[in-house]
Amino acid sequence: MNTSEAIEVTREAIFVLLKISAPAMLIGLAVGVIISLFQALTQIQEATIAFVPKIVVVFLVLIVFAPFMYGALQTFTLQLFDRIVSVG
């Protein structure tokens, strides 16, 4: 394996990482913004209010998107194993 192939595998790994983590991160961000907006409008300044809804929503997102995440990771892993076999 030469340097360009190693860089290509690393690039693909980072892309898969972003693809897998994006749904939970983006929805967690949206829920955080909504809760912050609600706190600003109602002048409730309790820092712990944001944690429980975000944890619940991120947990639900992980359950809903688990098949997609598994499929993306499985595809990447199989491609990586195929590359390892072709090198050896």
Structural domain includes residue 10: yes
Structural domain includes residue 53: yes
How would residue 33 be classed by pLDDT, with cut points 50, 70 and 90? very high
Give the per-residue pLDDT at 48: 81
pTM across the whole model? 0.80
Domain total in the chain: 1
Mean pLDDT of 27-46: 90
Structural domain includes residue 88: no
**70 has a pLDDT exceeding 90:** yes
d(CA 46, CA 87): 56
> CA separation (Å) from 67 to 9, 16, 55?
23, 14, 20
Side-chain-facing half-sphere of 34: CA atoms under 13 Å: 10
Structural domain includes residue 23: yes
